[in-house]
Chain A
């Protein structure tokens, strides 16, 4: 096991690289899920007046 962890003397480099990769992967997942959750909140709190549909009046003069 300790031989495996030692990585033939390259432990410092190999494990740092894998560690950073893990951080980036986890961070990405968290950010992506947060993006979805925040959109739901934003839509819930949106200005309801945006839903009103207005139509202009057109008057034709003879």
Chain B
């Protein structure tokens, strides 16, 4: 547990010292969301109908965008070797790094999302569900993106293929997340999809770090 906190603190400290990189995915999220009405139409009915799905796609893309360097930086400066050779389990270290990343990229997204949702004329009553669904979905997305980053860690220059590897796997999260939000917009019970999102998060958080650690060990060779 000490190692977990140690890595978490180190990664957060580094993240705040490079705040430019930190802010990029969030600004991306906001800009894409502001372009959406320009591409579609400013009409209330249309925006309200497609705003939910759109917010989810934007959240998905921005959470993938940021993760390319999650392990690559550590691999390139040699600290990944030291982490892999430390007595602590690599999966625990991976989990700490993923959590650190989620704290600096996922949480701000949760804060921004309601404002964007309001601008798409989503009803205020739906906002708690939107934030709740995002809170359950973004950890899964972070784990999947971390997995993509770990798999491509030994690919020269290629963060671009992370999307190709990971996006098909995110389909269930997208389906349940958008469904929960949609149900909330129509004032219906959202428990079903929220439970499913929580189940996916548990699965991802328990198996994901193990897969990441295995991929990193191969990448280190």
Q: Do chains A and B touch in the complex (CB under 8 A)?
A: no
Which of A's residues lie within 8 Å of B, judged by CB? Answer: none
